[in-house]
Amino acid sequence: KLSPFERSKYLYALARMIQKNSRFLSVLETIDNGKPIRETRDIDIPLVARHFYYHAGWSAKDTSSKNKPIGVVGQIIPWNFPLLMAAWKIAPALAAGCTVILKPAEQTPLSALRLTEIINDSGLLPKGVLNVITGLGEEAGAPIASHPDIDKVAFTGSTEVGKLITKASAGNLKKVTLELGGKSPAIVFPDADIDAAIQGVASGIFFNHGQTCCAGSRLFAHEKVYDKVTEGVAEIAKSIKVGPGMNDKDGSQMGPLVSNEQYEKVVGYMESGKQDGAECLVGGTHDNSNGGHFVHPTVFSKTNADMKFVQEEIFGPVLTTQKITDDDLNSIASEANNTEFGLAASVWSKDISTAHKMAAKIKAGTVWINCHNVFDSALPFGGYKQSGNGREMGFECMDNYLETKAVTVNL
């Protein structure tokens, strides 16, 4: 019932509270998730604050009297960017005037709990507007998806659970938005700035240990540059320092995977790739002997679309690579699109015309040209095909939390 201006004021204040607590939140996030402190400190938490600033703007600017908050919103999030995923969900919902029930992943609930404490202690939001429920997906998540008094559910996680949420939501036909998995291609043309492409492809897959829904996990490089690109990415893979996330002084650039379950899954995919005849160029090694789930950055060659680990989402630091042998853009696109997913892609070329033609042919919600994993709160993000439906960020995201009402007056 707050006015848009008041909502906006709360959200700006929240953004400032997050900045004030950023050191604490980034340490908590690294301890919980395992990712290097330099990433939580310089990437995750600053992006969280920016997301609240961005949505604070929207609530005051949306003056349309025909837009109404959708109501009580259930939000279920994963462990790969715990607080950032919470921000992507909470900020637009509050900006729209909804109330929120958020369920973080059991692996990483700490930062969302701390954020709620900070908000409660500050007295910024009226009581009951933001609620966090912890627990396992089946016990705490499924009831949100099926609850008759929840008007909307927003989910980020696996495609498998996304399908369960959709089914569970049918009882009261609540509105559903889904941000699911990916198997994003990085396509390198022979005219690309090859050094930039090597850097970009490497960070596209290795950022956040490959535990990123839009990770560029399938490299397609033109045969003229394939060797140079794969060797370059392999060199970078070798140089990445893997170690405990809190070891900033020793310069850990990649931490452990989030859990033993995830470790087993990623190692299993590497084994399945080898069994299917793929060749490991670098990495392929892993170690969980000291309680950390470390997997070294890995690059495979001799991979093709028939292999299980080329089709399924690995969600680890593992790149598969294929040669482009045909200059026809349609055939390149059909290889890149040969997946059930459609979240993102990157295209590497100096020719603006090639890059745009390719972008148009890729079935994905995000196409990056000469970059990968670039995000901005103003840019809508979401999937084609089984990567989900709806968009987060940008004004498109506000649509997820608003109903449009037409009131006609007979004067």
The nearer residue to ligand NAP, 87 or 197, going by C-beta atoms, is 87
How far is residue 301's CA from residue 342's CA, in Å, rounded to a whole number? 23
DSSP 210: G
Query: Is 315 one of the binding residues for ligand NAP (CB under 6 A)?
Result: yes
Query: Is 145 one of the binding residues for ligand NAP (CB under 6 A)?
Result: yes
Exactly one of 3, 126, 136, 350 binds ligand NAP (CB under 6 A); that residue is 136
Distance of closest approach, residue 134 Cβ to ligand NAP, in angstroms: 8
The nearer residue to ligand NAP, 106 or 191, going by C-beta atoms, is 106
- C-alpha distances in angstroms, 171 versus 142, 164, 166, 285, 316? 12, 13, 10, 46, 35
Query: Is 295 one of the binding residues for ligand NAP (CB under 6 A)?
Result: no
DSSP 242: B
- C-alpha distances in angstroms, 411 versus 58, 62, 65, 66, 117? 32, 26, 18, 18, 50
Q: Based on the residue annotation, tell me whether 213 is a catalytic residue of this protein.
A: yes
Kindly state the tokens that stand for 201.
């492809």
E-strand stretches of 117-233: 130-132, 152-156, 175-179, 184-188, 216-222
Exactly one of 36, 69, 74, 78 binds ligand NAP (CB under 6 A); that residue is 78
Query: Is 307 one of the binding residues for ligand NAP (CB under 6 A)?
Result: no
Helix (H) / strand (E) element for 347: namely strand 344-348
Residues of this chain, 241-270, that bind ligand NAP according to CB under 6 A: 265
The nearer residue to ligand NAP, 74 or 283, going by C-beta atoms, is 74
Distance of closest approach, residue 328 Cβ to ligand NAP, in angstroms: 31
Sort strands 286-287 and 294-295 into parallel, antiparallel or unpaired: antiparallel
Q: Which of these segments, 38-46, 99-107, 110-118, 195-203, binds ligand NAP (CB under 6 A)?
A: 99-107
Exactly one of 59, 67, 80, 99 binds ligand NAP (CB under 6 A); that residue is 80
Q: Based on the residue annotation, tell me whether 214 is a catalytic residue of this protein.
A: no
Distance of closest approach, residue 79 Cβ to ligand NAP, in angstroms: 5
Q: Active-site positions?
A: 179, 213
